[in-house]
Structure 1
């Protein structure tokens, strides 16, 4: 892990450094060019991080004054628990920072915020071809065995 790594909540002045990470995350999952998210979605996502009524949160990993990673998570209700659960929706680090503990530090910070919120679990998903991330995930969590289905309208 970089010696100067700081994981913290995003602040409004992070936008210019957050945006390339957000775009990189979306490009990794095929959302670029003609399939890119609309600017309205990006704008609304950013604004939600600073709206006290929204359950969506953003963490950033900063090293030497530069953002090198992001994690977005949200709390939601469940039919199998009284407490809300935490969904780690987005995790991304710049390529140069991969394998240096940045992703693990972001996940650890999400775990800490979940504990503080009284959440019984944190979960996330990744694409089956994302073998690099799976190496990290297999060290910090256990696989649930569930298969994700979706229908896009």
Structure 2
């Protein structure tokens, strides 16, 4: 079995991150303009007060997955909480534990930051992802709403 290494995003990861991010967006049937890629990548590398973070999963020194997460305040807790915003594993490595390792790395980062809660969203028809999420998380009964465009 190929070893999976989880590590922080580096500036030199830009081409690989672009490819993984584009594949993630395609999975959700969306695309974004170049300036959003540029801004997001810069934010992920910055040390600003939003604690916007990215971890990369590597196999054989090649990036094969990513996770974006951030910490924020919460009205029901004294501590910050952690929002796992995006998770993606390349189709070639799905089912090999990459997604689980990325989620567990976010759990560890949240523990290190004193954030007792990690949460995320997915589409209800993401059956493959939900098989993993059912093993590593607890399904809640919340429904998401957003402002109309």
Using the size of structure 2 for normalisation, the TM-score is: 0.96
Instruction: Show structure 2 runs of 5+ residues with no match.
Output: none
**SS at structure 2 position matched to 1:81:** coil
Task: Report the equivalent of 1:41.
Answer: 36
Equivalences for residues 1-12 of structure 1 within 5 A: 2-12=1-11
**SS at structure 2 position matched to 1:78:** coil
Cα deviations across residues 103-127 of structure 1 (Å, max 9, x unaligned)? 0000000000000000010000100
CA distance in 2, matches of 1:99, 1:151: 35
Cα deviations across residues 26-68 of structure 1 (Å, max 9, x unaligned)? 111111xxxx211111110000011111421000000001111
Task: Report the equivalent of 2:46.
Answer: 51
Equivalences for residues 2-41 of structure 1 within 5 A: 2-31=1-30, 36-41=31-36
Aligned partner (choices 135, 140, 147) of residue 136 of structure 2 = 140
Aligned partner (choices 94, 111, 126) of residue 107 of structure 2 = 111
Question: Cα RMSD over matched residues?
Answer: 0.9
In the TM superposition, structure 1's runs of 4+ consecutive aligned residues that sit over 2 Å from their partners are none
CA distance in 1, matches of 2:125, 2:117: 25
Residue-pair matches, total: 148
